[in-house]
Amino acid sequence: MSQGRWPAGPDGPGRDERPGGKVARAPRVPTVGRLAAALAVAVAATLASGVIAAVTAGSSPGATRPAPAPRSSGAVTNVGTDGGQLAPLHRIVPPDLLAVTKIPIGRARAHRLARIPQVRDVLVLAAGAVQLQGRQVNAFAVEPAAFRSWTPPGTAKRSELWTALAGAQLVVSDQAARTLGLRPGWEYPVVGKNVENLRLGGAGPLGMPGFDVLVSRSTGERLGLVPEVAVLINAPGADPRRLAVAVRRVLGGSAQVLDLNAAENRASAGGSSYLDLYRKAAATCRGLSWTVLAAIGQIESDHGRNAGRSSAGALGPMQFMPATWQAYGVDGDGDGRADIMNPYDAVPSAARYLCATGAGAGGRQLYQAIWHYNHADWYVQKVLALARAYATRYR
């Protein structure tokens, strides 16, 4: 529970008082129609001499085969570039909107997207239509360290997927793996502008409709994926229609925009969104709304962006004082320890703390419970206002 980077609001920042006395995505793989159209038209048109030429030239997938065992490269601890090391997962970013364009977005337009009110994170990706097992699928070239935070919690936590991706292996959605009969450890020819034989490093729910295949950025370049034609946007509490209008204003009217929080898109995406961490944690306290946890998570650390130690000594995505964590911290992910920096532990711990101080009763008791989380009336009012915005946004 820290000062962090507070969202702008009419009441502005106030004193940061803390408990404990501290002032503190042939038939195609099933996807959403709108996104399939966006990639098939926008991206394939851009790749007229790439993916389409490769497919119509008579390229065929060929037989799959087990890949040679990968060479050991030692312990992997951090990922910044292809073949790099994998960083611990502390930050989480729920994707709210996906846009696909016909031309590269570019740095200037990406910055304009980031300045749209309520937009907190923007991730620009290379994308394209490729052939895998004789079927057209959507492929995205990503930087593992940045992209993993946008996937469902269970997937984001699977470091072996992101280590494989950083090592130029193929990662696919669990739906694509089932539909195409893909086996981890086998090599598959992926047909784009060129043909790349890629070892399948793993599969899992990617949480976004139309996200079938992930490759590293260098592999994406060799396949001919189009740089900067897809963008993920995180805008907690934003009205989806207004956000889509603002995004189209920046990207142009031909941009295809998908509300990732619409019920039909959540269902088709597979897995669960990060917001399920808040939902599941709230379910442990009768009467407590997940929106309160989401509001606190946004205010305290911007959903993990500012999870470091505050000036008052609070830590983690839910910003607990160490003494409070000793009393209320739980092992939410079953790894045998309660880690103040781990969102899978910190979110249910926050629910436990709020429940212990009466949040489940609602009304005045909820107000007091939030006040106990941070001893400031302005803070309580901000949490309640943001919780109402979440309730409206995700109903």
CATH number at residue 343: 1.10.530.10
State whether residue 12 is helix, strand or coil.
coil
What is residue 209's predicted lDDT score, i.e. its pLDDT? 86
In this structure, of 31-35, 51-55, 192-196, the range with the lowest mean pLDDT score is: 51-55
One domain for residues 257 and 310: no
Q: How far apart are CA 95 and CA 152, in angstroms?
A: 10
Indicate the number of domains in the chain. 2
Domain housing 65: 47-269
Q: Is 101 left (phi over 0), alpha (psi -120 to 50) or beta?
A: beta
pLDDT of 7 > 50? The answer is no
pTM of the predicted structure, to 2 decimals: 0.63
In this structure, are 262 and 339 located in the same domain? no
Claim to verify: residue 221 and residue 289 sit in the same structural domain: no
| 319 is a domain residue | yes
Least confident interval from 69-73, 142-146, 313-317: 69-73
Together in a domain, 125 and 171: yes
Could you say which of 269, 286, 310 is where a domain stops?
Answer: 269
Is 232 in the same domain as 279?
no
Would residue 4 count as lying in a domain? no
Q: Which phi and psi angles does 125 have, rounded to 5°?
A: -130, 150
Whether 281 and 161 share a structural domain? no
Whole-number average pLDDT of the chain: 79
Cα separation, 132 vs 191, in Å, equals 7
Domain boundary among 236, 269, 302: 269
pLDDT tens digits, residue range 156-197?
888 999 999 999 999 999 999 999 999 999 999 999 999 999
37 pLDDT tier (thresholds 50, 70, 90)? low
Judgement on whether residues 143 and 254 belong to the same structural domain of the protein: yes
Assess whether 249 and 305 both reside in one domain: no
Task: Tell me what pLDDT residue 309 has.
Answer: 86
The letter for the amino acid at 4 is G
Give, in order, the Cα–Cα distances in Å from 211 to each of 3, 191, 203, 300. Answer: 36, 17, 12, 31
Per-residue pLDDT reduced to its tens digit, 268-313: 555 555 677 899 999 999 999 999 999 999 899 877 767 778 889 9
Range with the largest mean pLDDT of 8-17, 64-73, 81-90, 107-116: 107-116
